Amino acid sequence: MTDSPTSAPDIKTLGALKATGYQAKPVKQELRGNLITKLRTKSPLFPGISGYEDTVIPQLANALLGQQDVIFLGERGQGKSRLVRGLTSLLDEWIPTLAAVEIPEDPLDPISAQGKALIAEQGDDAPIAWVHRDERYGEKLATPDITIADLIGEVDPIKVAEGRYLTDELTLTYGLVPRLNRGIFAINELPDLAERIQVGLLNVLEERDVQIRGHKVRLPLDVFIVATANPEDYTNRGRIITPLKDRYGAQIRTHYPPSINQEVAIMLQEAAIAGCEGCEVSVPSYMQQIIAEITHTARLSPDINQRSGVSVRASIANYEALVANALRRALRLNESQVVPRISDLAFIVPSFQGKVEFEAMEEGQEDKITERIINKAIRKVFDAHYDINNLEGVATAFNDGLEIDAGEGLETSAYQNILEQLPGLRDVFVDLANTSPQEQAATVEFVLEGLHLHKLLNKQQIGEHNTYTG
């Protein structure tokens, strides 16, 4: 969405609009002109879109400069819909249309019978309405039950019952595409659209007009048409018919965030994280990285169906679940600071498994696969933060039978006792004095789990209670 709109121009009639010298621009020229302005001023083209700065966005900019219709091809959760919706930021903030007309029309050049009749009857007194750019965008999720009437239009039986002839253009009621004249229309998951309906879009893309049930209606629409599709759908649920695909000027391949930092940035931007009165949420950077790394690891796992992809929404949902469990603990223990720990990761399993499709079908395998993915992510982030050779002193302290209890339900004060038992752990803190007890507890768990994953410590797990031994 764009910023809060300014007030619409105070021009109410066609005559007043003519006096300003207004000239309408085709929507593709409008997008192109505003894109050129942003490029010249080095303004962000699509604020809020991360990871596409050097790949997708330059390709999209080229398509817009070339005034081409676009189809985005990519797996689920790659931000295709958000990118499409961001195109509205390249529209003029306000445009004039004829008021009380079914489709948005250029007041100086109406295309429908209703608009032409209004101008013929009222001339320069014809009323003008102003449409904000956010209202000039519409989208439709392709489903098998979509009809031509939904997209293009249909004869309105009520108008026929009122006495109009079937041959009268005014008996028609228009579908979504004509109602987005002078705007942007997006159809999501295009291959799921029945082939006969795809054929109905051909004329809109090629000739820029519509035909409804044999009516001799030529409605030269001005619509920028964008589509999205999943590569799997080309050979699975459906396909894009070749003539329709040929009409799109540019096919742009989207992708998942290539780096952990970009995944984290999107996760933090999108996650709905809220504390509560008297609580402060503080998530260590390594916990954020672990959540992102879990998603990246899943995208490489042979046990996860890669054809359907692992959405960025998996990172977002897992992060929300992680913080939620830390908040629940803080409320239960009456602590003011909410800091997620390694033991909280056990509570992201429902959100993770709800976002991926497993290749293994044996009962119980999903939990084992999930555990492997989480452990691999923890170890990778641990290795990026610590040199295992510098922690051998902590590991050898367990050789005399030391046992350390940890877990998501353990009070923060218990971790202060762990630091007393393992003074070598104090060396992992850059500034122990200025690190809160809750943050210390999280770091202690991180180090102990890292040593366990490097097979330097044993771990016995009973429910959410963990005991680390030598």
Is the per-residue pLDDT at 368 higher than 50? yes
The structure's pTM equals: 0.83
Which among 95, 70, 94 is positioned nearest to 83, based on CA atoms?
A: 70
| Whether residue 286 sits in one domain with residue 139 | no
Alpha helices in 276-424 (DSSP H): 285-300, 312-333, 349-353, 365-385, 392-396, 412-421
226 lies in some domain: yes
325 lies in some domain: yes
| Whether residue 207 sits in one domain with residue 290 | no
Tell me the one-letter amino acid at 333. L
pLDDT bin (cut points 50, 70, 90) of residue 215 is low
| Helices and strands (DSSP H and E) totals, the chain | 18, 14
Angle between helices 285-300 and 260-270 (to 10 degrees): 110
Domain edge (last residue) among 253, 285, 317: 253
Is the per-residue pLDDT at 18 higher than 90? yes
Q: How high is the mean pLDDT of the chain?
A: 87
Residues belonging to the chain = 470
Alpha helices in 86-194 (DSSP H): 113-122, 148-151, 157-161, 176-179
427 lies in some domain: yes
pLDDT per residue over 147-180, tens digit each? 877 887 776 666 656 656 555 666 677 888 888 9
| Whether residue 151 sits in one domain with residue 73 | yes
Which among 304, 301, 309, 294 is positioned nearest to 264, based on CA atoms?
A: 294
120 lies in some domain: yes
First to last CA, the chain: 55
Whether 156 contacts 180, CB under 8 Å: no
Domain edge (last residue) among 226, 253, 280: 253
| Whether residue 273 sits in one domain with residue 237 | no
Radius of gyration of the chain (CA): 29
pLDDT per residue over 118-133, tens digit each? 999 999 999 999 999 9
Tell me, what's the pLDDT at 237?
47
| Whether residue 198 sits in one domain with residue 73 | yes
Handedness of CA 361, 365, 369, 371 (dihedral sign): positive
Which among 106, 92, 124, 102 is positioned nearest to 2, based on CA atoms?
A: 92
404 lies in some domain: yes
Whether 470 contacts 458, CB under 8 Å: yes
3-state secondary structure of 250: strand
Into how many domains does the chain fold? 2
| Whether residue 232 sits in one domain with residue 112 | yes
DSSP 2: -
Q: What is the arrangement of strands in the sheet containing 250-253, beginning at the earlier edge strand?
A: 137-141, 183-188, 223-229, 70-73, 250-253
Domain that holds residue 56: 14-253
294 lies in some domain: yes
Domain containing 123 — which CATH number?
A: 3.40.50.300
Distance of CA 219 to the CA centre of its chain: 34
| Whether residue 289 sits in one domain with residue 204 | no
Is the per-residue pLDDT at 212 higher than 70? no
6 lies in some domain: no
Is the per-residue pLDDT at 436 higher than 60? yes
| Whether residue 220 sits in one domain with residue 127 | yes
pLDDT bin (cut points 50, 70, 90) of residue 83 is very high
Whether 425 contacts 418, CB under 8 Å: yes
* Mean of pLDDT values over 24-41: 95
Distances (CA, A) of 467 to 343, 350, 391, 459: 12, 24, 19, 6
| Whether residue 165 sits in one domain with residue 100 | yes
Tell me, what's the pLDDT at 328?
93
Whether 165 contacts 216, CB under 8 Å: no
Tell me, what's the pLDDT at 395?
87
Which among 297, 386, 286, 261 is positioned nearest to 344, based on CA atoms?
A: 286
Is the per-residue pLDDT at 110 higher than 50? yes
Residue 229: strand pairing partners: 73
Whether 412 contacts 338, CB under 8 Å: no
Is the per-residue pLDDT at 238 higher than 60? no
pLDDT per residue over 404-430, tens digit each? 889 888 899 898 889 888 888 888 888
Q: For residue 136, count other CB atoms closer than 10 A to its CB.
A: 24
Q: For residue 121, count other CB atoms closer than 10 A to its CB.
A: 9
| Whether residue 312 sits in one domain with residue 208 | no
- If 0-12 CB within 10 Å is exposed, 13-18 middle and 19+ buried, where does residue 156 land? middle
Residue 8 tokens read as 């619409």
Tell me, what's the pLDDT at 190?
86
Domain edge (last residue) among 253, 286, 301: 253
- pLDDT higher at 89 or 470: 89
Is the per-residue pLDDT at 241 higher than 80? no
> To the nearest whole percent, how much of the chain has pLDDT over 70?
90
